Amino acid sequence: MMFQDKVAVVTGASRGIGRAIALALANQGAKLVLSARSLAALDDTLAAVKAAGAEAVPVAADVSIEADARSLVAAAVENFGRVDILVNNAGITRDTLLLRMSEQDWDTVLDTNLKGAFFCTKAATKFMSKQRFGRVINISSVVGEMGNAGQANYCASKAGLIGLTKSNARELARRNVTVNAITPGFIATDMTEALPEKKREELTQQIPLGRLGSVDDIAESVVFLASDRAAYITGQVLGINGGMYM
Ligand code: NDP
């Protein structure tokens, strides 16, 4: 039990990677604040986390709204007295070619993926700094490192998350708050399920390990970065991509 007495906030916990992260932290004894845009969407994760024996509170919050981001952190502090781990996982895509990309396509993706992480980090690190302990883990993407046609908005948001990670790591290190990013490659979730079959096959061919990643591949690394074993790691970008980008 690595996280007994630790409190974690996971955004985008209703499905996919966020759900797996929440479960992995619960399995190591963390108390959890689970968030997504609706409470109903969190039912399944909440039941799984509780079945693992963890205490958990679901919160409906849109991370692109600052008051909602604050409410997530407030739920951790009010229910469990502290906040130790923040996983900025909530993310969306609005893929289209540059010339067809609307201002709204751009803003919605940047507001959720990048501004959302800024809001949640700002709210959580206020408490983490006082505690002199914190772990912030940002779920970026391999395409934030290598780019991808048809994803200018998404790639910009994920590259921005890497800059945010490094700046926050420098700013918060003295308070014993570490900030790291994970850049998943293509992981089997609803997000990649939405891709056409042919596109998914093409992508798989670009992966040296010859398969899409699993949500557990990402969750295990979050557990590591949140643990005491990673105490001397900050400002880093951990690529979990089957070798598709080196
Ligand atoms: P899913 O689409 O399966 O899940 C996205 C999650 O984000 C849901 O829980 C959703 O909750 C939540 N979410 C979306 N918008 C908001 C919002 N405005 N406020 C709060 N929560 C929100 O995605 P994945 O599990 O595949 O991806 C998780 C993260 O990993 C994302 O940041 C994604 O960019 C990143 N990633 C994924 C990869 C992949 O191959 N799958 C590869 C690289 C990175 P709800 O809709 O219920 O509100």
Q: Where are the domains of the chain?
A: 7-237
pLDDT given for residue 194 in this prediction? 86
Q: Please identify, by atom number, the ligand 1 atom nearest to the C-alpha of residue 113.
A: 32
* Sequence letter at residue 70: R
pLDDT given for residue 195 in this prediction? 86
pLDDT given for residue 91 in this prediction? 98
pLDDT given for residue 190 in this prediction? 87
- 35 within 8 A of 64, measured Cβ to Cβ: no
For the sheet containing 56-60, what is the strand order?
A: 56-60, 31-36, 7-11, 85-88, 134-139, 177-184, 237-240
In angstroms, what is the C-alpha Rg of the chain? 17
Indicate the SS3 state at residue 61. coil
Q: Is 213 in the pocket of ligand 1 (CB under 6 A)?
A: no
Pocket probe for ligand 1: among 191, 217, 244, the residue whose CB has the most ligand atoms within 8 Å is 191
pLDDT given for residue 44 in this prediction? 98
pLDDT given for residue 67 in this prediction? 98
User: Which residue, 68, 62, 63, 54, is CA-closest to 7?
Assistant: 54
For the chain (246 residues), the mean pLDDT of every run of 10, in chain order, is: 97 98 98 98 98 98 98 98 98 97 98 99 98 98 97 98 99 98 95 88 94 97 98 98 97
pTM above 0.85, yes or no: yes
DSSP β-bridge partners for residue 187: 213
**SS3 of the chain: helix, strand, coil, percent, to 5:** 50, 15, 30
Sign of CA dihedral 231, 218, 116, 199: positive
Backbone angles phi, psi at 90, to 5 degrees: -55, 135
Q: Is 144 in the pocket of ligand 1 (CB under 6 A)?
A: no
The runs of H, that is alpha helices, within the chain are 16-27, 43-51, 66-80, 103-110, 116-131, 143-146, 152-172, 190-193, 197-205, 215-226
- Hey, which CATH number is domain 7-237, 3.20.10.10, 1.10.10.10, 3.40.50.720, 1.10.3330.10? 3.40.50.720
In whole angstroms, what is the distance from residue 13 CA to residue 21 CA?
Answer: 8
Q: Is 62 in the pocket of ligand 1 (CB under 6 A)?
A: yes
| Ligand 1 atom 8 nearest Cα | 12
- 3 within 8 A of 226, measured Cβ to Cβ: yes
Ligand 1 center–CA 12 separation, angstroms:
5
| 203 CB-near residues (< 8 Å, 6+ apart) | 186, 195, 212
pLDDT given for residue 191 in this prediction? 82
Q: Is 12 in the pocket of ligand 1 (CB under 6 A)?
A: yes
pLDDT given for residue 182 in this prediction? 99
Q: Please identify, by atom number, the ligand 1 atom nearest to the C-alpha of residue 158.
A: 34
Joined together, the tokens standing for residue 104 give 């709204």
Q: Which residues are catalytic?
A: 154
Ligand 1 center–CA 25 separation, angstroms:
18
Q: Is 58 in the pocket of ligand 1 (CB under 6 A)?
A: no
| Ligand 1 atom 17 nearest Cα | 62
Q: How far apart are the first and last CA of the chain?
A: 33
